[in-house]
Structure 1
Amino acid sequence: MLTTAHSRQHHAFEKSPSSHMKNLDRKLQQAMNNATSKYMQRIYPLGIQRSSSSLTLSSLSLSQNSNDSSLSSSNSSWEPKVPLLYGGTFSPWGDVMVSLEMRREDDDKVSDHDVEGGEEDFDCSEPGSLHRCSWITKNSDEAYVQFHDECWGVPVYSDNRLFELLSLSGMLIDHNWTEILKRRDMYREVFADFDPSTVAKMDEDAIADISGNKELKLAECRVRCIVENAKCIQKVAKEFGSFSGYMWGHVNHRPVVGKYRHHKYIPFRTPKSEAVSKDLVRRGFRLVGPVIVYSFMQAAGMAIDHLVDCFRFPECVRLAERSWGITNVAA
């Protein structure tokens, strides 16, 4: 026989059988939001606030597995969403670097009234200064700003530089872009300027030396991923002629140009990055989840995601047009 207290508790449960599940859902959602916030702090500089209401756990997944999805995205011709990078012919460094942000799944473009209408504009430009993407703030590190101004959004075609960008993008699991950029020269030194043929030959002693270097802040498992990816790149190069040819083939050798007016509309991942991720995993690559792949695509210039009012947007589009002879950008 139930006691009075137990009876009341049992009666209350019978009246609202879903209350327990609702509490669990709220706790799960809160945990997901906290995880999203911590993850975004690695990608965006301080001062940027983004709504995470449309994010799901899967959209932040950095696992090696990707859901099957079509190679075609919602973007036309130059699929407006892919990575960017500064490279070779046009870059003063001749290198390629990092992507700036992980984006959300919403691939919709921003309309003019959305931009003018409501959300806070995060532009922190001084009067008379260059107008940059809104995630570049007064608190942004100089290395981060320089990368935005000189590298992000310029197509990269060198196998070494693409390997570098893929490796750096994978490091976003543990570090933010500013930290990665500041250690870029050290990474190049220990990984032989990201020459796949050299890195692929690294033995256990070399792996131990790199992971044991506290300045690099790379766990042994991360170093092994980079070495394994170098071996995979060699196989891909034999099949396709080059790693660059393989990667750019996924976007028909045309950068995807995203004409975004607000940073909240830039996705973390796209159907294209999911498809690329799936194929990379199939070929044995590691640390190539769809979110990391999209960051890589942005960093390598495969996707141009500067905001349309950023001074770099028209410059990067012109570089892409010059490179491929393209005259029309998808609306």
Structure 2
Amino acid sequence: MSDFILNQTDTFRCPWCLGFEKYIQYHDEEWGVPVYSDRKHFEFLVLESAQAGLSWATILKKREGYMRAFKDFDYRKVADFTEEEVEKLIGNPDIVRNRLKIHAAVNNARKFIEIQEHYGTFTDYIWGFVDGKPLQNEWKSMAMVPAATELSNQIARDLKQKGFKFLGSTIIYSHLQATGIVNDHLEQCFRNQEVKRMARY
């Protein structure tokens, strides 16, 4: 099977997104767009941490549930969650009911605020690893796209040292891809060049 599927509008897309409409929409509108909003970075960190051991498709289908459960991803509100609120989340069928992942989200909200206090914003912190300039890749096939890199290793180590949980190198690389710090749209994908033009530098 080809790395690309030609759809009805003659548009080439990265093949991983072609399973269902919400996946295609996510690929076309969000994935790889440079993110400079701390709240959006926190949203992706919560969702990506929840993804561990699951598919991104599963998490996308629960995204609205996560938005409600985690107060529109307001990290300050999440950081103040009580143990009683955590227990309610563990019983919430609209999210992944994994106690460790839910505790990690609350813990990470608190650590997220600590990074803001030290660096000004989480955006400044994480973009600092690439000096504010997205890494522009030109992969020709999905087989070429890595699951993790030395950059994601470095960031994951640093976050672990800062007390973050459930954010290993593979999850962090997914975060870099999702938030446009790395442009991993395949070379032939129509979004490759569009995303490239969105960078601030």
- Tell me the TM-score normalised to structure 2 length: 0.96
* Corresponding residue to 1:296 among 159, 170, 175: 175
Give the alignment's Cα RMSD to 1 decimal.
1.3
Q: Which residue of structure 2 aligns with residue 265 of structure 1?
A: 144
Q: Distance in 1 between matches of 2:64 and 2:7?
A: 31
Q: Which residue of structure 2 aligns with residue 241 of structure 1?
A: 120
Q: Distance in 1 between matches of 2:67 and 2:54?
A: 17
Which consecutive segments of 4 or more residues in structure 1 shift more than 3 A? Answer: none
Q: Which residue of structure 2 aligns with residue 224 of structure 1?
A: 103
Unaligned runs of 5+ in 1: 1-119, 325-331
Q: Is 1:126 matched up with 2:7?
A: yes
Q: Is 1:195 matched up with 2:74?
A: yes
* Corresponding residue to 1:135 among 1, 8, 16: 16
Q: Distance in 1 between matches of 2:91 and 2:15?
A: 38
Identity of aligned residues (%): 34
Q: Is 1:306 matched up with 2:193?
A: no
Q: Aligned-pair distance for 1:304?
A: 0.4
Q: Aligned-pair distance for 1:167?
A: 1.2
Q: Which residue of structure 1 aligns with residue 61 of structure 2?
A: 182
Q: Aligned-pair distance for 1:183?
A: 1.4
Letter in 2 for 1:198: K
Q: Distance in 2 between matches of 1:127 and 1:144?
A: 16
Q: Distance in 2 between matches of 1:142 and 1:281?
A: 35
Residue 163 of structure 1 aligns to a residue in which SS? helix
Q: Distance in 1 between matches of 2:171 and 2:165?
A: 11
Residue 135 of structure 1 aligns to a residue in which SS? helix
Q: Distance in 2 between matches of 1:214 and 1:318?
A: 39
Structure number with higher helix proportion: 2
Q: Distance in 2 between matches of 1:126 and 1:238?
A: 47
Q: Aligned-pair distance for 1:127?
A: 5.5
Q: Distance in 1 between matches of 2:48 and 2:71?
A: 18
Q: Which residue of structure 1 aligns with residue 84 of structure 2?
A: 205
Letter in 2 for 1:249: G
Q: Distance in 2 between matches of 1:224 and 1:128?
A: 44
Residue 138 of structure 2 aligns to a residue in which SS? coil
Q: Is 1:164 matched up with 2:43?
A: yes
Q: Deviations over 1:79-107 (max 9, x none)?
A: xxxxxxxxxxxxxxxxxxxxxxxxxxxxx
Q: Aligned-pair distance for 1:128?
A: 4.4
Q: Distance in 2 between matches of 1:275 and 1:237?
A: 19
Q: Aligned-pair distance for 1:266?
A: 0.5
Letter in 2 for 1:250: F
Q: Is 1:251 matched up with 2:130?
A: yes
**Residues paired across the two proteins, number:** 201
> How do 1:20-99 residues align onto structure 2 when only pairs under 5 Å count?
none
Q: Which residue of structure 1 aligns with residue 28 of structure 2?
A: 149
* Corresponding residue to 1:316 among 175, 182, 195: 195
Unaligned runs of 5+ in 2: none
Q: Distance in 2 between matches of 1:293 and 1:122?
A: 24
User: Are residues 154 and 267 of structure 1, via their aligned partners in 2, closer, same or farther at CA, if it must alter by over 3 Å?
Assistant: same
Q: Distance in 2 between matches of 1:165 and 1:200?
A: 16
- Tell me the TM-score normalised to structure 1 length: 0.59
Residue 261 of structure 1 aligns to a residue in which SS? coil
Residue 198 of structure 2 aligns to a residue in which SS? helix
Letter in 1 for 2:175: F
Q: Distance in 1 between matches of 2:115 and 2:94?
A: 32
Q: Distance in 1 between matches of 2:191 and 2:52?
A: 27
Asked if structure 2 preserves the Cα contact closer than 8 Å seen for 1:170 and 1:288, the reply is yes
Residue 68 of structure 2 aligns to a residue in which SS? helix
Q: Distance in 1 between matches of 2:91 and 2:17?
A: 33
Q: Aligned-pair distance for 1:124?
A: 2.1
Asked if structure 2 preserves the Cα contact closer than 8 Å seen for 1:123 and 1:135, the reply is no
> How do 1:94-105 residues align onto structure 2 when only pairs under 5 Å count?
none
Q: Deviations over 1:232-261 (max 9, x none)?
A: 011110000011111111111111111111
